[in-house]
């Protein structure tokens, strides 16, 4: 990865959507309510105390949703003919060529799953993006002509369950 690479013109910029982050915040809100209702009932709290707590949890949902959207929004990818530009874990923009990408793996940051783009250069920092960027059809249509169908960015979804490697089956009596 190089910071001083002479880039070809930017073809497009794919930004993550806000909806997945709002879904994550809604899940957290729902889990809060699922836990709070039985606890309030077990403690014998009156209904108005629970309602005040629900309003407070809704306010947290709104703030958390906005915060997640702001944090994840810069994790888009700029696509160039010779590679892509994305942010490293420290927020700095970095370039990596198509051939310089070794693999894509999931990374969980405070419950939000991101995709880490691992470079072949072991001394370079990985790049982070949102999973929905890699699953975007526009992204795929831009990457295929330059990187090919078998590129790690276009492989199986990083949030898919890992598969077990297939081992050769030994047949008894055969050498």
**pLDDT tens-digit series, residues 118-143:** 998 877 888 888 888 888 888 888 88
Q: Please check whether residues 135 and 84 belong to one and the same domain.
A: yes
Give the pairing type, strands 93-97 and 101-109: unpaired
Enclosing domain of residue 33: 19-72
The CA-CA-CA angle for residues 30, 16, 67, to 5°, reads 50
Per the CB < 8 A criterion, the answer to whether 9 and 80 are in contact is: yes
Q: Please check whether residues 28 and 51 belong to one and the same domain.
A: yes
Please state the rounded mean pLDDT for residues 9-16: 76
**pLDDT tens-digit series, residues 55-73:** 887 887 778 777 777 776 7
Q: Please check whether residues 100 and 55 belong to one and the same domain.
A: no
Per the CB < 8 A criterion, the answer to whether 115 and 131 are in contact is: yes
Model-level pTM?
0.60
Per the CB < 8 A criterion, the answer to whether 120 and 102 are in contact is: yes
Number of domains in the chain: 2
Residue 29 lies in a domain: yes
DSSP labels, the chain:
-BSS--PPPEEEEEPPPSHHHHHHHHHHHHHHHHHHHHHHHHHT--HHHHHHHHHHHHHHHHHHHHHHHHHHGGG-EEEETTEEEEE-TTS-EEEEEGGGEEEEEEEEETTEEEEEEEESSTTSPPEEEEHHHHT-HHHHHHHHHHH-TT-GGGSS-TTSPPPPPPPPPPPTT--
Higher pLDDT pick, 94 / 113 = 94
Q: How far apart are CA 149 and CA 76, in angstroms?
A: 21
Residue 60 lies in a domain: yes
Q: Please check whether residues 66 and 86 belong to one and the same domain.
A: no
Residue 174 lies in a domain: no
Residue 171 lies in a domain: no
**pLDDT tens-digit series, residues 77-102:** 888 988 999 888 888 889 999 999 99
């Amino acid at each position: 990865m190089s910071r001083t690479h002479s880039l070809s013109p930017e073809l497009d910029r794919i930004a993550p959507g806000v909806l997945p982050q709002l879904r994550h915040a809604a899940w957290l809100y729902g889990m809060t309510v699922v836990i709070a209702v039985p606890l309030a009932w077990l403690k014998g709290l009156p209904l108005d105390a629970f309602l005040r707590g629900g309003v407070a949890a809704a306010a947290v949902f709104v703030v958390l949703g906005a915060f997640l959207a702001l944090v994840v929004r810069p994790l888009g990818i700029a696509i160039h003919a010779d590679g892509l530009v994305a942010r490293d874990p420290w927020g700095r923009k970095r370039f990596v060529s198509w051939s310089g990408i070794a693999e894509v793996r999931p990374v969980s940051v405070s419950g939000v799953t991101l995709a880490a783009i691992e470079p072949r250069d072991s001394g370079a920092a990985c790049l982070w993006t949102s999973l929905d960027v890699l699953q975007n059809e526009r992204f795929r249509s831009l990457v295929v002509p330059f990187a090919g169908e078998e590129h790690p960015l276009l492989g199986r979804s990083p949030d898919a369950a890992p598969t077990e490697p297939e081992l050769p089956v030994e047949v008894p009596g055969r050498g």
